[in-house]
Amino acid sequence: MAVGFIAGITEQSVINNAQTKLTALRNALRDCHDFRQWLTAYSSADLQAAPINMDAASATALFSALADADALYQLYTTGALTSPPSGYTTPGTYVFGASQRVVIGPLS
């Protein structure tokens, strides 16, 4: 048994786990892209109106978080940012997850 691996672990279980995680990542990015595509038909004012009645800060945070998630989708699918999020400067200086933490909370 190799150090650090549980007894009985197999190559196939490692591959299955990797495939499951990577598929979930790909699907989540696509879901965020699709949701942002839907969301772009609306404005912050639309979200603040009935029946949704979202407060302005939450609406702004939602638009920002989905724009950043869509940028990750762009990077994942094309290797380039075709429509970078507001405030983006150069690779390594923009934290895509920062706006998402406003909506979903910190990574724990």
Given a cut of 50, is residue 1 above it in pLDDT? no
Q: Tell me the pLDDT tens digit for each residue of 15-35.
A: 999 999 999 999 999 999 999
The pLDDT of residue 7: 87
Distance CA 67, CA 47 (A): 16
Q: What confidence category does residue 92 fall into, taking pLDDT thresholds of 50, 70 and 90? A: low
Query: Which tokens belong to 52?
Result: 């949704």
pTM given for the model: 0.76
CA angle 27, 82, 33 (to 5 degrees): 25
> Helix or strand or coil: residue 103?
helix
Report the distance separating Cα 18 and Cα 64, nearest Å.
Answer: 30
Most confident of 46-50, 65-69, 82-86, 103-107: 46-50
As a whole number of angstroms, the distance between CA 28 and CA 25 comes to 5
Q: How far is CA 49 from CA 41, 42, 69, 79, 91, in A?
A: 15, 11, 25, 37, 37
83 pLDDT band (50/70/90 cuts)? Answer: confident
Question: How far apart (Å, rounded) are the C-alpha atoms in residues 20 and 4?
Answer: 21
